[in-house]
Structure 1
């Protein structure tokens, strides 16, 4: 029983072969249906233009026009009856054919079909009408044939009978053609899927950590986008792994320095001989701890921003939220005599990712306050523009040389000649947070024509 179920599941699993078979069956069914529709339309057009009973009546009328003898007329009618019955046998939907001939001079019946009995065929001449004979519908046609008046009748042919009859005639031909069409298509599919199977085998044989290029060139154009997409994905994975390795290496290198300072100052504090030495060692120890804590916090921020989870925008007053963040930086700015200014509307509603927005503003403020000289100016601007919600932080500090500007967003990169300590992660966090929000970061001019630097970030469209 279990084996039978497993075999049934194997047969019922979706495959391309099954889809091809079903597609061919559907195509043949549509062809069959269209042929039946075509035959039905032809039948309706024939009825509208010139149906068979009328054609046969005209031909028989032409044969009787020159006949003057009653016996000869009867012979013609019997021969025509035999011929008419033969034609009806090939496509008679039921009922019997009826024929009647009268002498126009005396109104006598010269000939009548045996099945007609005492009934008479009547109706307008030169056209086909539908009449009731003995409770059954008939098509009746009448015409003048010289000395004679001719009437013919046959059971009507319905559209359903035409469709049913042609369905049985067409179906065997389609069934005969189906395997002849299926076989080459099946072979083409099997042959066409071989490169895909080769690609799957080549990927399956690779090691768990093997991200090298596949190096497979499929012979068919339809498979080239697939292999190209796989190669791009592997390249992205290689870049991601290399980036992570470099990140771990740089993070370990950056953490090594404050950890070494902490260890050295801890020993110095433990071995201090007087209060001045203890105070100096404690001061340096606190600085090293603060640097290590700041670096750890930035590494955590960067790891969270690198997460593939999508941002979750929240409806907030961006202007008020920015004022709260700037207020936290005011004490550090005042300690160095830095003039910190915020330009924004009283209220600015927007749907934004709050953690990413906070990371952007805090890191831009932290960098501006850290690297400008004492007594400098830092201006934060938040506004709603045509391109969305725009945030900018500009100062009149030493600025960034043009040669270094393309690299300032790299992780752990610190400009040459910088006296202030830092991890080189602040602008990398800003860039990653802006990308997470679907925004962009650009370096712009500072507050002075020849001094300072500014960073403009497109955050989001205001709500």
Structure 2
């Protein structure tokens, strides 16, 4: 599998992050608007407070009997004051102040209008020909606290809305791409030999051309494979028949001639025809192995096929093969004909190039591992690496075309299997071994 992420995952993450980002931008914008509106309300409250207190303060100051000294407005009961005020004359002398006011917050001389200090927002107004001033102060921390509480009030719903949005986005994406995922799984799960059309009639509109293109490709591939198989079968028939006819005629001629020299010449022709017939058969097997017909559309039990092939060899070389079969079935998508060709070539290779004094061991276990082992000289590593190539042979005097292992390797590769070649054989000091797991065909 690759590291590429799926379309469903990309859409889910992208849409979720987009929704969250839009929510946060909305909260920030709402918070800024709320803060601006609250500042206007607070400024209006400062101005309104100053304008309501100033006439009362002027009346109180002008009606005093003991002069114009500072007086502190009494508090009805203890409480925190968010708004504090000072009443001063134009020289800055205190005339009246709220019970919790701190003169250090205000400037040295009073002024009119709005102003800011590092800690407070102040509004000033005057009366009696600018001789009496009132200044009302509000802590900026109070405004920041109010803005923070408003922002949190806007942000709190996101704690619930974000998970709901996440689940909603993922559910909608999964629902929208459900048919696409089913289409992907139907292609992924089918074996390599299944060339039937894929169902794409319920795909979203954007994916319909993909299904159509895939089905067209599968149809063309199916026709190409059928044509190749037909050609291989026809070629085998057309080649074997004249070769067999020629061989029969040569054998008949051999019985009719009297001259020893002529008999030897006819015998050489007979052997050449036999070699040509064997080579043509191997080449046709190689063409079939490389033609993509190694996989079938359904599973088959390969144990009876292996037993039948070994039984055929037993009739030719009695006692040379030791067969071990599994107790249960070994089912595989490997085409039965391709499996028969593969096993026959492995056994022929072992019989032809192995030691004639040692038996050939053919075994299959329950997990599908097929092993063909023979005794004989060790094949050097540099030669072992070349034995999969066409017409490649190790140093041996045995007859052969050099195509047996190439055919077996082509079938294994076409079925998605790996043919392991070892020399010496596993658990031995000599010999040669071929091993593959037929249950893994796909």
What TM-score results when the alignment is normalised by the length of structure 2? 0.43
